[in-house]
Structure 1
Amino acid sequence: MTALRFWLVTAAATTGIAVTFALGQWQLGRAHQKEALQQAIEAARTSPPLPQDAMLRPDALSLVHRPVRLRGRWDAAHTVFLDNRQMGARVGFYVVTPLLLEGSDRAVLVQRGFAPRNFERREQLPPVRTPDGAVDVAGRIAPPPSRLYQPGPPSTGPIRQNLDIDAFAAETGLKLLPVSVQQTGAASEGLSRDWPVTGGRGPETNYGYAVQWWALSALIACLYAWFQFIQPRRRAR
């Protein structure tokens, strides 16, 4: 019975050590992947601005994070205020307006910036100014606006929880590009533009998890050695 118990404990300890060590290695790999992704994003963000024609390429999604310069006119009637967005420590709207591209029949959704909301009158729209006529817009090519959990059917008014490009194109009749643009630059027109850095949690989190898993693996090994070898020998003495 004692021999059977020894081998059962040995098998359990070996499995625990192997699993926790492997999980630490996996977290280390995830950290390296995130570092590589951050480096790629930073390289894209600091590259020279693309011309407007680049937005019309079939592979426009591959240009995400690249700076771009656009010229066109705002379609202010179809401005959307995406609710429950944050910038800094404030909660409010991401203001999204289609930009009708000059010299083209296409349009692109521009995430123009952030505006705080009135929590006493939640239906009130913030005072955002939209210039008439041709405008020049500097920004970064971005994926479609991020989606949040939304109970119930999607809304169609100016205040919305989410914005799907294909559905919005069908609703408005605009020929929208499959990407959006985050407008950059100083605050203006009632909007802030301190956009959060894309990529979620950094690699530091994964390094921390790796250390925790390896510490647990070492703890299992130490407990195994103590109870299976060191303590029995001390008792025998």
Structure 2
Amino acid sequence: MYRFLLSPRWLGALALTVVASAVMVWLGNWQLDRYQGRTEVNERIDAGLRMAPVPLTEAFRAPTGGPGTAGPPPAEDKVWSRITATGRYDPSNTILVRGRTADSRVGFEVLTPLVLADGTALLVDRGWIPPAPGGATAQPSVPATPTGDVTVVGRVHETESGAGTVARRNGMLETRRVGVPGLARELPYPVYGGYLLLDEQTPPADPVFKAVPVGHANNWQNFGYVVQWWLFAVMALFGYGWVARREARRAAGIDTKTAPLDRAAEPTPSASA
């Protein structure tokens, strides 16, 4: 009844179905990895908000190069952890990161190097400020930094991907990306390999700054893709089986659609017969 499945046409269809299903299972597994990775990031973000701050050196390895170099990036499990550091701001090397959004408005994030006692520096994202009147790229007036020693508390952020262009305008550096290695080349001291999103500061920060919003990764979207791809794989195999069964029933003359037509085509016996 199912001998036709050994024909070249059906064997080819089976091979194509199996390959397609295997690819869909692989895509589902890939999305599952992304779901698990994003879930871990979300858990670290939440844990960072709850944890007590630890010293800078527990999250970063100190830079060992000369001026203009960046240290090693923070370990993955240290990203979003809460740390504290004490140093002096260097306002002469303030960095404006344009094109940043907060409360549905486009403005700037302000990074200022915090120079530590050993001469190294940590880039501190002090927060978001609106642009000056004239458009989203109009350079804002940046509030002055506190003088003397400053203690900061914030969350570790890894360097952003992509090498944004760094240019100096009106005495301040401007960029679109917080690429720490590229920014370090513009600075006169070695810099830690990530930066800090400021939560608290002593003396207090200027109230014009808004805290940089930290969004959670949309991990449930990836989970939906997992279910989708695995369901497609099952449907492909089921579809092959359904078509094969239908073909077998038709070949055996018991197909429910064609059988009534075949009976109708038979001649009606005459009464004389």
TM-score (norm 2): 0.71
In the alignment, the residues of structure 2 paired with residue 219 and residue 55 of structure 1 have an alpha-carbon distance, to the nearest angstrom, of: 48
After superposition, the C-alpha distances for 1:96-148 in whole angstroms (9 at most, x for unaligned) are: 111122x332221101111222473455322331233133322112223x245
In the alignment, the residues of structure 2 paired with residue 52 and residue 207 of structure 1 have an alpha-carbon distance, to the nearest angstrom, of: 35
Q: Is the contact between residue 48 and residue 67 of structure 1 (CA under 8 Å) also seen in structure 2?
A: yes
Moved runs in structure 1, 4+ residues, more than 6 A? none
Where structure 2 has 5 or more consecutive residues not aligned to the other structure, the ranges are 63-71, 255-273
Deviation at 1:165, TM superposition (A): 3.4
Q: Is the contact between residue 127 and residue 190 of structure 1 (CA under 8 Å) also seen in structure 2?
A: no
Q: Is the contact between residue 52 and residue 71 of structure 1 (CA under 8 Å) also seen in structure 2?
A: no
Match of 1:171 in 2: 186
Higher mean alpha-carbon deviation, 82-91 vs 209-218, is at 82-91
Match of 1:217 in 2: 233
Decide which structure has the larger Cα Rg and report it.
2
Question: How many pairs are equivalent?
Answer: 230
Where structure 1 has 5 or more consecutive residues not aligned to the other structure, the ranges are none
Deviation at 1:10, TM superposition (A): 1.6
Q: Is the counterpart of residue 161 in structure 1 residue 161 in structure 2?
A: no
Secondary structure of 2:227's counterpart equals: helix
Q: Is the contact between residue 129 and residue 189 of structure 1 (CA under 8 Å) also seen in structure 2?
A: no
Find 1:226's aligned residue among 207, 232, 242.
242
Match of 2:224 in 1: 208
In the alignment, the residues of structure 2 paired with residue 197 and residue 126 of structure 1 have an alpha-carbon distance, to the nearest angstrom, of: 25
Deviation at 1:164, TM superposition (A): 4.2
CA RMSD of aligned residues (A): 3.0
In the alignment, the residues of structure 2 paired with residue 111 and residue 49 of structure 1 have an alpha-carbon distance, to the nearest angstrom, of: 17
The structure that is helix-richer by fraction is 1
Q: Is the counterpart of residue 11 in structure 1 residue 15 in structure 2?
A: yes
Deviation at 1:41, TM superposition (A): 4.7
Find 2:97's aligned residue among 58, 82, 94.
82
After superposition, the C-alpha distances for 1:151-172 in whole angstroms (9 at most, x for unaligned) are: xx54233332235434444433
Q: Is the contact between residue 99 and residue 107 of structure 2 (CA under 8 Å) also seen in structure 1?
A: yes
TM-score (norm 1): 0.80
Residues 167 and 36 of structure 1: CA distance in aligned 2, closer, same or farther (over 3 Å):
closer
Q: Is the contact between residue 87 and residue 196 of structure 1 (CA under 8 Å) also seen in structure 2?
A: no
Residues 211 and 71 of structure 1: CA distance in aligned 2, closer, same or farther (over 3 Å):
same
In the alignment, the residues of structure 2 paired with residue 187 and residue 143 of structure 1 have an alpha-carbon distance, to the nearest angstrom, of: 23
Residues 224 and 187 of structure 1: CA distance in aligned 2, closer, same or farther (over 3 Å):
farther
Match of 1:93 in 2: 108
In the alignment, the residues of structure 1 paired with residue 154 and residue 115 of structure 2 have an alpha-carbon distance, to the nearest angstrom, of: 15
Q: Is the counterpart of residue 61 in structure 1 residue 79 in structure 2?
A: no
In the alignment, the residues of structure 2 paired with residue 212 and residue 131 of structure 1 have an alpha-carbon distance, to the nearest angstrom, of: 52
After superposition, the C-alpha distances for 1:187-218 in whole angstroms (9 at most, x for unaligned) are: 844211142236xx332122111111122112
Identity %: 24
